C-alpha cells in the first residue's frame, strides 16, 4: 500500500542520512588529520553508528510482517553479526575502540549501506538506475567477506581484554556448578560467523542473478 511504501521510504531515508553522515565524517576526518583520526573513530561516530544498527533491527520486523520481500534468515544473520560485534565486542571494551580494525569495519559497513539505502529509496519510487542497481548487487560480494574478516579480527583483538577483565563471564554460586567464560563463547561464535558467511555469500550471488538477469534489467528499464 501507499502508506507502507511511504513508511519504508522514510526508514530508508533515515538510514541513508545516518550512514552518509558517518561515511562523510570518516573521510573528512581522515583527509584532515590523517592516521591520527583512525584511533578515535569510535568516539567520533560511535553513537550514530549504534543508533543506525539498532534501527536496522526493524528490517527483521519488516520481513516478518510481509512488507519487505527479502529472505528472513540471511538478513537476520547480517544484522545480528553487526549487533554482536558492535555492542558485545567493541562497545564493551574501550581498549578495542581505538584499534584500526574498528575504522576499517565501519568504513566497509557504511560504504555498503550508503549504496544499499540509496538503491532502496529509488526502488520505492519505481526508479531503477542501472549502474546503481549493478553496484548494489555487486559491491557486497567482495566487501561482505572483507567485513567478516574484519569482524573476526576485531573479536581476536578483543579476546585478551575479555580474559583480563572478565567482562560477560559468569560463575554461578553453589549449588550451580556452572560458569560461562565469554572468551570461549566468542571463539565458538567465530566458527558460526565464518559458516554463516558462506551461506550469506551464496544468497548474495542468487540475489545478484535475480536482479541483474537480462530479463529483469529490461523489465526495470522499460
Tell me the pLDDT tens digit for each residue of 43-100: 999 999 999 999 999 999 999 999 998 999 999 999 999 999 999 999 999 999 999 9
DSSP SS3 for 179: strand
- The cell numbers describing 67, all together, are 512488507
User: Is the separation of the CB atoms in 46 and 79 below 8 Å?
Assistant: no
| pLDDT per 10-residue tile (average), the chain, 222 residues | 92 98 95 87 94 97 93 95 96 94 96 97 93 96 97 97 92 76 95 95 95 62 48
Q: Report the candidate in 159, 50, 68 with the shortest Cα–Cα distance to residue 106.
A: 50
- Number of helices (H), then strands (E), belonging to the chain: the values are 10, 2
Amino acid at each position: 500500500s501507499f502508506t507502507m511504501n511511504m513508511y519504508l521510504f522514510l526508514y530508508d531515508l533515515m538510514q541513508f542520512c545516518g550512514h552518509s553522515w558517518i561515511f562523510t565524517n570518516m573521510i573528512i576526518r581522515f583527509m584532515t588529520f590523517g592516521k591520527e583520526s583512525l584511533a578515535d573513530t569510535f568516539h567520533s561516530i560511535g553513537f550514530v553508528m549504534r543508533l543506525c544498527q539498532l534501527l536496522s533491527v526493524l528490517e527483521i520486523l519488516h520481513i516478518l510482517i510481509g512488507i519487505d520481500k527479502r529472505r528472513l534468515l540471511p538478513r537476520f544473520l547480517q544484522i545480528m553479526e553487526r549487533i554482536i560485534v558492535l555492542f558485545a565486542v567493541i562497545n564493551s571494551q574501550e581498549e578495542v575502540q581505538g584499534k584500526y580494525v574498528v575504522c576499517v569495519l565501519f568504513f566497509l559497513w557504511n560504504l555498503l549501506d550508503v549504496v544499499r539505502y540509496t538503491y532502496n529509496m529509488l526502488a520505492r519510487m519505481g526508479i531503477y538506475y542501472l549502474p546503481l542497481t549493478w553496484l548494489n548487487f555487486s559491491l557486497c560480494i567482495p566487501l561482505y567477506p572483507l567485513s567478516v574478516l574484519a569482524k573476526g579480527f576485531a573479536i581476536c583483538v578483543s579476546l585478551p581484554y575479555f580474559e583480563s577483565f572478565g567482562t560477560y563471564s559468569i560463575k554461578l554460586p553453589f549449588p550451580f556448578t556452572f560458569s560461562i567464560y565469554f572468551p570461549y563463547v566468542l571463539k565458538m561464535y567465530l566458527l558460526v560467523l565464518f559458516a554463516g558467511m558462506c551461506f550469506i555469500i551464496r544468497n548474495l550471488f542468487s540475489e545478484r542473478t535475480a536482479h541483474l538477469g537480462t530479463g529483469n534489467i529490461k523489465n526495470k528499464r522499460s
